[in-house]
A and B are shown apart, each in its own frame.
Chain A
Amino acid sequence: MPIGLNDIIAILPEIIVSLSACVLLIVDLFIPKGKKFFIGGIAILTVMVAAFVSFYIAGAGLTGMTVFSGMFAADGFGFFFKGIFFVIAILVILLSLSYVDTEGIENGEYYIFILFSLAGMMVMASGVDLLSIYLGLELMSLPVYILTGYAKLNKRSNEAAMKYVVLGAFSSGILLFGISLIYGITGTTELTGIATALSAGGAEHGALIIAVVMLVAGFGFKIAGVPFHMWSPDVYEGAPTPITAFMSVGPKAAAFAVILRVFLDGLAPAYDTWYLILSIVAVGSMVVGNIVAIAQTNLKRMLAYSSIGHAGYALLGVIAGGEEGVASVMYYMLVYAFMNLGIFAVMLYMRTTKRSGELISDYTGLAKKNAPLAFVMLLFLFSLAGIPPTAGFIGKFYVFMALIHAGHIYLAVIGILLSAVAAYYYIRIIMLMYMKEPEGEFEFVRSRPILYVLTLTAVVVIILGIFPGDLLSLAQSAAVFL
């Protein structure tokens, strides 16, 4: 089938991002070492142009079409997630600018890999065919594997990259096997076609449960859901901190976009088959994530377990299903991106030669030394714990509300009880910051870009917590699949 103008317009944002990444690869060759922040600047500019074009396409009513013979959908759902990805990419590049300098890993490719990964996430959010989804997933993952091992002389970084790439390849293989089983059962890889075939009797097929388990394993690896979470604490700890920040929000949001589409669109007629499997993953993630996080002394490992727990909450929204459930997950991912990037920004602001900012004990008595920093940290921790008036509360609130409306009272009760457990380890850090006397010397990275990120994320976390209406209704209007 020939490619028309519509197809090109629909993927224009993706074209801009990947074309710019390709051009930057060449430009990078002519930029001397020490001036590589220039590449970062152009990368930010590219993301802004792509965001503007997406905004224009979404606003001009050009959405709501499926292009490339049903492989790719330019719909509101995709654009909402792309908006989250654009914000994440820009904030992560801003966070990286000073970090790569102090770590001695300054390189143009660093920013280019972020752009390629962004392109992959965008394809994932718009993919309506299991094959285009898989293509996007790989394009997103491969640059992140490399970025994880970017601190080439750091053994922990090497170990993290090795673990991530081996387990990642394994999970991709399982996912592909699941896709091939789905193809065998339904005769198509298109999500709408799968839904039609399943409601026409395919849902009774015996192999469907194996296919669903494999899909859950493949996507569960990306969101670090229990029992596919083993990699995440080691990888989060070893990766360069801005990349950990990127991993904890970007690929996770992209994987949730795919999970929402695949399970609530393609596999919707087989709800009875996957409902229990996803419930087990969700409850397991919340239990393991929140309870193991209590025992951590390293902030990055603690955030890894907390991110496992948050994946569990967001999965509850998928289980709730319906327009409300989808919107609650979309909103949760948006909020989670801001609060998690904020907490990583605080960590990067503390990263000096004096202390790594990675140990929880580094924050002892921070309030006496730098009250504003301690305050924004408190804000992000409250938000992660889900305490009003921060955005994290609203995010959790809508997920649980969708769950109760869908009739899953028990799951909601388990989720709420476990978020009370989660409050313990977040508030422990606040206690360390405010109740203890400072130990040792404090020094801060006086980097402007990190300050911008801190300000922006803190303001957004408060605004989304007090006035959630606009973005929530945007999410609700976008929570319709093609």
Chain B
Amino acid sequence: MFLTYLPVLMMLAVVGAMGAAAVIFSSFLRPNNPYGTKLSPWECGMEPIGDASTGHFRVHFFVIAILFIVFDVETLYLFPWAVLLTDESISLLIFIEMFVFIVVLAIGLIYAWGKGALDWVK
């Protein structure tokens, strides 16, 4: 039974080897010129304040991330819904249900928009 998964294990080994090879070989070839700006973590073009490893980041990123998750979850529901929609006995009902769900999400988005969660500069 485990033999069925042998190709997966081999795939993992190949992927790991290729990744390691890319890093090791390029370190021989590329010019080595580290400086401050280059080493700073990239935060959507924002000037970083302090060390990124301390976990301090702008609260705004958090708000955007939450909005993003809400729509991620919406997509998660939309896929099974779209598959089931072909079943005619329930299609009208779940069509309405999904729109109720989307309207509720839209209200949340309009609220966040109105509160300025989408404006970057205040």
Instruction: List chain A positions with a Cβ less than 8 A from chain B.
Output: 2-3, 22, 25-26, 29
Contact = CB atoms under 8 A, between A and B. Distances in A.
17 contacts: A2-B89, A2-B90, A2-B93, A3-B93, A22-B104, A22-B107, A25-B107, A25-B108, A25-B111, A26-B107, A26-B110, A26-B111, A26-B114, A29-B110, A29-B111, A29-B114, A29-B115
Nearest to B108: A25
Contacts of A26: 107, 110-111, 114
Shortest 10 CB-CB contacts between residues of A and residues of B: A29-B114, A25-B111, A22-B107, A2-B93, A26-B110, A25-B107, A3-B93, A26-B107, A2-B90, A22-B104
Assign chain B's interface to a size class: 10 to 19
Interface in B43-99: 89-90, 93
Main secondary structure of the interface of B (DSSP, over half): helix
A2 B104 CA distance: 21
Contacts of B107: 22, 25-26
B70 to A, nearest CB: 14
Given A3-B93, A26-B107, A29-B110, 10 more contacts: A2-B89, A2-B90, A2-B93, A22-B107, A25-B107, A25-B108, A25-B111, A26-B110, A26-B111, A26-B114
Nearest to A29: B114
Give the interface SS of chain A, mostly helix, strand, loop or mixed: helix
Contacts of B115: 29
Interface of B: 89-90, 93, 104, 107-108, 110-111, 114-115
Nearest to B103: A22
A193 to B, nearest CB: 24
A196 to B, nearest CB: 29
A25 B106 CA distance: 12
A56 to B, nearest CB: 24
A22 B115 CA distance: 15
B83 to A, nearest CB: 19
A3 B110 CA distance: 29
Contacts of B89: 2
Nearest to B97: A3
B15 to A, nearest CB: 37
Contacts of B114: 26, 29
A2 B96 CA distance: 12
A6 to B, nearest CB: 14
A237 to B, nearest CB: 28
A25 B90 CA distance: 32
Nearest to B107: A22
A29 B110 CA distance: 9
Nearest to B92: A2
B108 to A, nearest CB: 8
B3 to A, nearest CB: 35
A145 B114 CA distance: 23
Contacts of A29: 110-111, 114-115
Contacts of A3: 93
A25 B89 CA distance: 35
A2 B108 CA distance: 28
Nearest to B89: A2
A3 B114 CA distance: 34
A22 B110 CA distance: 11
Contacts of A2: 89-90, 93
A351 to B, nearest CB: 29
B72 to A, nearest CB: 20
A397 to B, nearest CB: 46
A22 B104 CA distance: 8
B99 to A, nearest CB: 14
A2 B89 CA distance: 9
Contacts of B110: 26, 29
Contacts of A22: 104, 107
B114 to A, nearest CB: 4
A325 to B, nearest CB: 39
A26 B115 CA distance: 10
Contacts of B90: 2
B55 to A, nearest CB: 18
A25 B114 CA distance: 10
B8 to A, nearest CB: 32
Nearest to B93: A2
Nearest to B114: A29
A22 B111 CA distance: 9
A88 B53 CA distance: 48
Interface centre among B93, B104, B111 (most CB of A within 10 A): B111
A29 B115 CA distance: 7
A29 B112 CA distance: 10
A385 B104 CA distance: 46
A173 to B, nearest CB: 20
Contacts of A25: 107-108, 111
Nearest to B96: A3
Nearest to A1: B90
A248 B29 CA distance: 70
A172 to B, nearest CB: 19
Contacts of B108: 25
A113 to B, nearest CB: 13
B67 to A, nearest CB: 15
A25 B110 CA distance: 9
